[in-house]
Amino acid sequence: MELIAELLHITAGGRSIAILSEETASSLGVRSSDRIRITHNKNEAIAIANIAAHFPENRVGLYEEIATILNVKEDEKIDAQLAQLPESLSHVRAKVRGERLRETDIQNIVKDVVERHLSEVEIAAFLTALNIHGSSMSENEALSKAMVETGKTLDFGKTPILDKHSVGGIPGDKTSLIVIPIVAAAGYTIPKTSSRAITSPAGTADRMETLCPVNLTIKEIRETVDKTNGCLVWGGSLELAPADDLFIKVEYPLGIDPLLLPSIMSKKKAIGATHIVIDIPTGGGAKIKTRTEAYLLASDFVDLGKRLGMTIQCAITFGEQPLGYAIGPALEAKEALETLKGQGPPDLIDKATTLSGMLFEMLGVKNGKRKAENILVSGKADKKLREIISNQGGNPKIKPEEIAIGDKVTQVKAKQAGRVLWISTENTVQIAREAGAPKEKGAGIVLKAKLGDAVRKGSVLFEIYAERNEKMESALELANRLQPFVLSRKAEERMLLDQVPAKVTREKGFMLER
């Protein structure tokens, strides 16, 4: 049926959408969400029909994505026909019915997600069904592979390629900034891609960005890794497993995460990793709450790794409090540089050398942790990070005290004497974010006491850093309301952990990035 193109002059966020009036849709036999095949000269596009109540008759509204494919101008004629629903939609429906999907079914779905032939409604149904019915290890394998195949991949032309990943969960986790240089200094290749914070106060990319650019091209990554054995870059624009970004977008409002395993493993496979240590922080305020959950997840990672030809070891780590003392991009980068100079907090040093050591031992090295400690103490890791900073375009001579941190500082003090019995990781996250992190890189908090420390009444529990006064004020107000430290002389003196309904309504939950 011949229709007139009406260009909308805005993008649809990558979606393939065409707008029709109710009458025009009815003439075409098209319902909302049906597919239409639009042709103009020799160009063809499949679009998902959106039906609008007040759209002109016999016209089709085209967002820029489709208009570009068709190379059509305002008021030109196009031909529109009802097209078949994509085959992948029948597999989505099968998953809703609880069926197991075959590898080809999953390839179909992932391909159509990336090529935008499935709508967000259909992706939501798929993810909801996956979340409820679960996915078999064969399905996870197929999902991982399909997510790799539909994106770009990196090939460094050598083996082994090491990697370290955290499923996320505790604030202040700057371990990668120590592990990467230790491993690279030992002569192994470890190209680390990471994410920016969205609901946390700092992602590894945010921390590293206070030291050097992280938004590298694939070519620049290869050059950096060729010269230094490692890198610490933002993975967001590299189009490694792009299906995952589309899945995450749909999962986010639903608070579900059925693709945790394939999501992580596809990104690792796409950079060619062969040996990976996966950190699973475990604790009440972390993503993984209990040891049982952690062991189940770990065994799934190992199994899926084997299927994908990767050697995986998982570290189940203590996740009941922030790691180290600093939280916030610049404060954490500063703490990482201090740690590389031998002045780091013991939990951070222990975690970084343990994870590095696990990687070494996976490659046959005896006493890997000792080797990692030696590299750290020798200053070789510090030197290596500075090489990486230099190759990514930063200043390799930066001193910890030169990193720009917020110049507004306020101390939050203990209202009573006692021992630190509990620190709410969620509350520290909220306060650091309220202070401006991760957007304002110098904002955050620095703990002055950790679990088990004895504090006197009036001694400092933590400091808040901000770049702007109004942020400081609202962070301080939140800190006073939330009281993230629980103090008492003995555990039995303070049994109340939280109260329901909550003392404060959270604007937004702390959701962990992957």
Write the CB contacts of 295 (distance below 8 Å, at least 6 apart in sequence).
Answer: 316
Task: Figure out which of the listed residues 77, 121, 292, 342 binds a second copy, where binding follows CB under 8 A.
Answer: 121
| Distance between CA atoms of residues 142 and 148, nearest Å | 10
Of 335 and 434, the one with the shorter C-beta distance to a second copy is 434
**Is the CB of residue 90 less than 8 Å from the CB of residue 105?**
no
| Distance between CA atoms of residues 156 and 154, nearest Å | 7
Q: Residues 306-335 vs a second copy: string with x where CB under 8 A?
A: ------------------------------
Applying CB under 8 A, does 503 fall inside the site for a second copy?
no
Q: Residues 404-443 vs a second copy: string with x where CB under 8 A?
A: -----------------------------x-----x----
Applying CB under 8 A, does 472 fall inside the site for a second copy?
no
Write the CB contacts of 78 (distance below 8 Å, at least 6 apart in sequence).
Answer: 2, 3, 4, 5, 38, 39, 40, 60, 70, 72
| Distance between CA atoms of residues 313 and 210, nearest Å | 30
- From residue 67, give the alpha-carbon distance in Å to each of 9, 47, 63, 83, 496: 9, 11, 6, 18, 60
Applying CB under 8 A, does 215 fall inside the site for a second copy?
no
Applying CB under 8 A, does 32 fall inside the site for a second copy?
yes
Is the link from the previous residue into 160 a cis peptide, with omega within 30 of 0? yes
Of 255 and 346, the one with the shorter C-beta distance to a second copy is 255
Strand 460-466: give its sheet, edge to edge.
326-327, 444-447, 460-466, 408-413
Amino acid sitting at position 328: G
CB of residue 413 to a second copy, shortest distance in Å: 28
Applying CB under 8 A, does 264 fall inside the site for a second copy?
no
Task: Figure out which of the listed residues 4, 8, 218, 460 binds a second copy, where binding follows CB under 8 A.
Answer: 8
**Is the CB of residue 210 less than 8 Å from the CB of residue 202?**
no
Task: Figure out which of the listed residues 4, 69, 82, 417 binds a second copy, where binding follows CB under 8 A.
Answer: 82
CB of residue 155 to a second copy, shortest distance in Å: 27
Cα 462–Cα 167–Cα 147 angle in degrees, nearest 5: 145
Applying CB under 8 A, does 54 fall inside the site for a second copy?
yes
Is 245 annotated as catalytic? Answer: no
| Distance between CA atoms of residues 266 and 106, nearest Å | 14
Applying CB under 8 A, does 256 fall inside the site for a second copy?
yes
The four Cα atoms 111, 113, 116, 121 give a dihedral, to 10 degrees, of 150
Specify the stretch interacting with a second copy by CB under 8 A; choose among 121-129, 157-165, 279-287, 310-318: 121-129
Applying CB under 8 A, does 128 fall inside the site for a second copy?
yes
Specify the stretch interacting with a second copy by CB under 8 A; choose among 118-126, 138-146, 207-215, 344-352: 118-126
Amino acid sitting at position 458: G
Specify the stretch interacting with a second copy by CB under 8 A; choose among 113-121, 348-356, 422-430, 464-472: 113-121
Q: Where are the alpha helices (DSSP H) in 115-202?
A: 120-133, 137-149, 176-185
Secondary structure letter of residue 86 according to DSSP? P
Which of 244, 257, 347, 382 is the catalytic position?
257
Task: Figure out which of the listed residues 2, 157, 219, 253 binds a second copy, where binding follows CB under 8 A.
Answer: 253
Task: Figure out which of the listed residues 255, 309, 346, 364 binds a second copy, where binding follows CB under 8 A.
Answer: 255
Do strands 35-40 and 77-83 pair parallel, antiparallel, or not at all (unpaired)?
Answer: antiparallel
As to burial, measured by CB atoms within 10 angstroms (0-12 exposed, 13-18 middle, 19+ buried), residue 358 is buried
Stretch (H or E) spanning 324? none
CB of residue 242 to a second copy, shortest distance in Å: 13
Of 10 and 495, the one with the shorter C-beta distance to a second copy is 10
Task: Figure out which of the listed residues 5, 62, 92, 180 binds a second copy, where binding follows CB under 8 A.
Answer: 92
Applying CB under 8 A, does 53 fall inside the site for a second copy?
yes
Stretch (H or E) spanning 290? none
Task: Figure out which of the listed residues 137, 198, 409, 504 binds a second copy, where binding follows CB under 8 A.
Answer: 198
Task: Figure out which of the listed residues 98, 342, 379, 393 binds a second copy, where binding follows CB under 8 A.
Answer: 98
**Is the CB of residue 232 less than 8 Å from the CB of residue 271?**
no
CB of residue 195 to a second copy, shortest distance in Å: 13
Specify the stretch interacting with a second copy by CB under 8 A; choose among 144-152, 162-170, 254-262, 467-475: 254-262
Residues that bind a second copy (CB under 8 A): 8, 10-11, 13-14, 19, 26-27, 29, 31-34, 50-55, 61, 82, 84-85, 89, 92-93, 96, 98, 119-125, 127-129, 131-133, 198-199, 249-250, 252-256, 433, 439, 505, 507-508
Active site residues: 257
